[in-house]
């Protein structure tokens, strides 16, 4: 049996093609949700929109400190793996769910497959970087999305036989859902937006939003940007950021702040935007796939492929840099090639699992 662990919004989205592939092939699988994300708009909406089976287990770990959250996931997954032995445990990405899920499995001598292996920002102050390194080094099968991520793994001494470049399942997810979105939801009409005449913003990285000075700086910079281009800024705000904006009593005047939206709505908001401004990993990738330019509100990225092909620019949180990057990217020709694969990553991953006799 294949045990699929998920816990947060991006994991549900990027694991959805893998779950679909298992269903299509009639494989025996079990989905374990850690409950790291739990609000309707961060969790259940994706199961409904993407037609995914509700997980058989939900650990309901909720929010907490890194130690508390990781420990609760580790112990919860261990209990399930003892009760329901698996041939392989699949984890996706770089969250606390991934780190704890991989550790629980490897300690029980169950092979681990890491989807989106080998991404590196080379910034160990990011919790995600620690989670990636741990997950990669305890995994038996590493599904690297690109040759760059494969090389990162080789540079760390990981055995080449464990690594396969599969593409990123985010491409599968975009391809499987964009047409459905066009028929099912109408976010631009709902928000009174015109195609290519608005900016789409997301921000939730700890280093950006948990510091009052930094978050205030980002909001001020984005407001200036909106005034400069005379274009509205739509900001579906992550609950962490909503909490921090409240806690620091910051103004969001000048923004169209909305609650996080479903994947179908977000895909359409992305694909029609003049420009994306984000610190999200998934949004940098989706901009690149959907041919929409992106300015990343960070000093580094673990998605250097987007910079290489010209779909993305790093701007950090400085207003002048953000404006200069936006000026350049809004004019850029949207003719780059998508470096993240052709939409068959989930199929490749499941074929490797089968080939290795782990199912
Ligand atoms: C987590 C991941 C991050 C990933 C992001 C995707 C870690 C260390 N971080 O960050 O890598 O990019 O998910 O979105 O694993 N909250 C809610 N409802 C929810 C979830 C969270 O209100 O459903 C609020 C709570 O106030 C919580 C805060 O958001 O304290 C942060 O949640 P947490 O899961 O700790 O981290 P994220 O910032 O979501
Ligand atoms: N997303 C969404 N609704 C939103 C904002 C983002 O469905 O309101 C999707 C987006 O399309 C992408 C994923 O969430 O697939 C990115 O998740 P997030 O930014 O939370 O995490 P990261 O990718 O940075 O880990």
Protein residue closest via CA to atom 14 of ligand 2: 10
- Burial class from Cβ neighbours inside 10 Å (0-12, 13-18, 19+) for residue 130 reads middle
Q: Is the CB of 76 under 6 A from ligand 2?
A: no
Query: Diameter of the chain by CA atoms?
Result: 59
Nearest atom, ligand 1, residue 38 CA: 23
Of the residues 33, 114, 204, 347, which is catalytic? 204
Classify burial at 150, counting beta carbons within 10 Å of its beta carbon; exposed 0-12, middle 13-18, buried 19 or more.
Answer: buried
Taking CA atoms only, the protein residue closest to ligand 2 atom 8 is 260
Give the pLDDT of residue 308.
98
Q: Which ligand neighbours the alpha carbon of 129 most closely?
A: 1
pLDDT computed for residue 242 by the predictor: 98
Protein residue with least CA distance to atom 7, ligand 1: 95
| Ligand 1, residues at Cβ distance < 6 Å | 8-10, 36-39, 42-43, 63, 94-96, 127-128, 204, 238-240, 243
Backbone angles phi, psi at 94, to 5 degrees: -145, 25
Q: What is the pLDDT along the chain (359 residues), one digit of tens a residue?
A: 999 999 999 999 999 999 999 999 999 999 999 999 999 999 999 999 999 999 999 999 999 999 999 999 999 999 999 999 999 999 999 999 999 999 999 999 999 999 999 999 999 999 999 999 999 999 999 999 999 999 999 999 999 999 999 999 999 999 999 999 999 999 999 999 999 999 999 999 999 999 999 999 999 999 999 999 999 999 999 999 999 999 999 999 989 999 999 999 999 999 999 999 999 999 999 999 999 999 999 999 999 999 999 999 999 999 999 999 999 999 999 999 999 999 999 999 999 998 876 66
Active site residue 186: no
Q: Which atom of ligand 2 is nearest to the CA of 8?
A: 20
Of the listed ligands, the closest to the CA of 40 is 1
For the whole prediction, is pTM greater than 0.85? yes
Indicate the top mutation candidate among 17, 98, 242, 266 to test ligand 2's pocket, ranked by most ligand atoms within 8 A of CB: 266
CA 131 / ligand 1 centre spacing (Å): 14
Nearest CA to ligand 1 atom 28: 240
Structure tokens at 317: 């949180």
Q: What is the pLDDT of residue 354?
A: 87
pLDDT of 355: 82
User: Could you tell me if the CB of 187 is within 6 A of ligand 2?
Assistant: no
> What is the whole-number distance in angstroms between the Cα of residue 128 and the centre of ligand 1?
12
Angle CA(164)–CA(167)–CA(169) in degrees, nearest 5? 115
Helical residues (DSSP H) of 96-211, grouped into ranges: 96-107, 127-138, 147-155, 169-184, 187-191, 206-209
Ligand 2 pocket check for 303: Cβ under 6 Å: no
Q: How far separated are the first and last CA of the chain, in Å rounded? A: 5
What integer pLDDT is reported at residue 158 of this predicted model? 98
What is the model's pLDDT at position 359? Answer: 67
């Amino acid at each position: 049996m294949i045990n699929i662990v998920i816990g947060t919004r991006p994991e549900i989205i990027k694991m959805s093609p893998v779950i679909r592939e298992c269903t299509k092939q009639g494989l025996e699988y079990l989905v374990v949700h850690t409950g790291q994300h739990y609000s309707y708009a961060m969790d259940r909406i994706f199961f409904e929109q993407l037609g995914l089976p509700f997980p058989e287990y939900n650990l309901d770990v909720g929010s907490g400190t890194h130690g508390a959250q990781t420990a609760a996931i580790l112990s919860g997954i261990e209990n399930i793996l003892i009760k329901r032995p698996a041939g392989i445990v699949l984890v996706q990405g770089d969250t606390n769910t991934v780190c704890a899920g991989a550790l629980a499995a490897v300690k029980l001598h169950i092979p681990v497959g890491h989807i989106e292996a080998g991404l590196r920002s080379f910034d160990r102050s990011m919790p995600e970087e620690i989670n990636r390194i741990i997950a990669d080094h305890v995994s038996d099968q590493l599904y690297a999305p690109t040759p760059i991520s494969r090389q990162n793994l080789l540079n760390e001494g990981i055995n080449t036989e464990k690594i396969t470049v599969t593409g990123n399942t985010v491409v599968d997810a975009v391809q499987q859902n964009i047409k459905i979105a066009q028929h099912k939801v109408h976010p631009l009409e709902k928000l009174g937006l015109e195609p290519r005449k608005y900016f789409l913003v997301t921000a939730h990285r700890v280093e950006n939003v948990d510091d009052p000075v930094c978050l205030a700086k980002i909001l001020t910079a984005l407001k200036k940007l909106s005034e400069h281009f005379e274009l509205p800024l739509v900001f579906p705000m992550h609950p962490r950021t909503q909490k921090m904006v409240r806690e620091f009593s910051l103004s969001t005047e000048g923004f169209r702040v909305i609650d996080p939206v479903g994947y179908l709505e977000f895909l359409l908001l992305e694909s029609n935007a003049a420009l994306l401004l984000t610190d999200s990993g998934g949004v940098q990738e989706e901009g690149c796939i959907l041919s929409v330019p992106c300015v990343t509100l960070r000093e580094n990225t673990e998605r250097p492929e987007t910079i290489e092909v010209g779909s993305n620019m790093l701007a950090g949180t400085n207003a002048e840099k953000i404006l200069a990057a936006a000026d350049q990217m809004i004019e850029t020709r949207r003719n780059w090639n998508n470096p993240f694969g052709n939409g068959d990553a989930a199929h490749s991953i499941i074929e490797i699992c089968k080939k290795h006799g782990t199912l």
